[in-house]
Structure 1
C-alpha cells in the first residue's frame, strides 16, 4: 500500500472525544502516522508482531495492521480511548488487540514498537516509562519526541542505539482551553531505535 493511500485511510479515523490533558492525549496526525509507518514498513519492521504503547485512538496500531503486520496489540490506560480505537479498527476492517494496561505492566515481547508517547510537556519525564517498556519488550522501536531530545534519548536507551532519526512537522489542533491558536505546528523528532541483544 502506498503512503498516500494509507494516509487517506487513517484520516477516516475518529479522534479523542474528550482528551485528557494530564495524559497528553493528542492524536498522531494521519500524514505523520502514515510517514512513520511507511518508513517502518520499508525497513522490514512491520512484517511480524507490532505493539503501540499508549495507543490512544489506535491510529499507529491500525496503520501497522493495514501494512501487513501479522499481529498488532495496542495498549492504553484510558478505557474511553480504547473504545474509540476498537471502533476505528472495525471501521477499517482490521483485527487489532486492544488491551487496557498501565505502561509498566506490559510483559509480552514483540518485534516492533511504534509509539507517540507523552512528550512530558505537562509532567517532565512522562515519556520515560514508555521508552523503558519498549526497550524491555521489543527489538525495534519507532518513537516520536520533542525536537531537541536526541542527546537525552541516546543516553537513556543505552546500550540500544538510534539507527535513524529525522525531523517532522506535528500539527496540533486547538484541543485544550490554554491553546491560543486553532492550529499550531511543532517540530518533532522521529527515532528508529535498535535494541541490542
Structure 2
C-alpha cells in the first residue's frame, strides 16, 4: 500500500455532477484527500479506528478510510443527492460504510477520528462552525481543512475546544463548478489542521 495507490483509487470514484452553492459544496480532489488520509493513517488514527466523515460529499474521505483499514466508517451529509452518490460509490467498490443523511448538528455518538472538509464560510459566514463544534463533541482526534483566510478565527476556536497538534498549508484544486467561476481551475490556499479534543486523555 502507498499514498499513490490510495490517490489512484480515489481518482476513480464517481463525482457529484451538480453542486449546491447554498451548501458551499466543493469537491475534495484525490490528491488532497490522499494527503489528509495518509497523514491520519501514519498518526495511527485510521487503521482499526472508528472514523466519521462530516460532510462526506461523494464519500471520498470515507472510502479512503475504509481502504486504509478503519474498523468502521460513518459518513454524514445533509444533501440526499450527495449521500446517494456516496452510497453508490461504496457499493460499486464493495466497501461497508454507514451513511447518515442528516445535518451535522443532529449527529451523536463517540468516534476515534473525525475527518472532514467543511464549508469554508465564503457564502455563509462561519458555515464551518457547526462542523468544528460537532467534531470536538463526538471525536477524539480531528483532521479538517479550512480556508487559510479564516485561520486566526479557526485556530482560536480549536484552541478553546482542544489542542492543535499540527497544521499544514495546502492548496485545494477547485474546478469550474459554479456560474460565477471565471477560470477552469482554482487553487485555494488552505490549511489542514490535526487536533485532539480535551477528552483525548480517556483513551491514552
Place the TM-score, normalised by the shorter chain, in its bin.
over 0.9
- Is residue 18 of structure 2 the alignment partner of residue 18 of structure 1? yes
- C-alpha distance in 2 between matches for 1:167 and 1:183: 19
- C-alpha distance in 2 between matches for 1:154 and 1:20: 27
- Report the 3-state secondary structure (helix = DSSP H, G, I; strand = E; otherwise coil) of the residue aligned with 1:176: coil
8 Å Cα contact 1:172/1:184 also seen in 2? yes
For structure 1, list consecutive stretches of 5 or more residues without a partner in the other structure: none
Considering fraction of residues, name the structure with more helix.
2
- What is the CA RMSD across the aligned residues, in angstroms? 0.9
Question: 1:35-114 residue pairs with structure 2 within 5 A?
Answer: 35-47=35-47, 48-114=49-115
TM-score (norm 1): 0.97
Per-residue CA deviations over 1:131-190 (Å, capped at 9, x if unaligned) read 011010000000000014332222212140110101111111000100000111111100
Which portions of structure 1, spanning 4 or more consecutive aligned residues, are displaced by more than 2 angstroms? 148-151
- Report the 3-state secondary structure (helix = DSSP H, G, I; strand = E; otherwise coil) of the residue aligned with 2:165: strand
Structure 2 counterpart of 1:181: 183
- Report the 3-state secondary structure (helix = DSSP H, G, I; strand = E; otherwise coil) of the residue aligned with 1:126: coil
- C-alpha distance in 1 between matches for 2:89 and 2:184: 25
TM-score (norm 2): 0.94
Number of matched pairs: 197
8 Å Cα contact 1:149/1:189 also seen in 2? no
For structure 2, list consecutive stretches of 5 or more residues without a partner in the other structure: 200-204
Question: 1:130-169 residue pairs with structure 2 within 5 A?
Answer: 130-157=131-158, 158-169=160-171
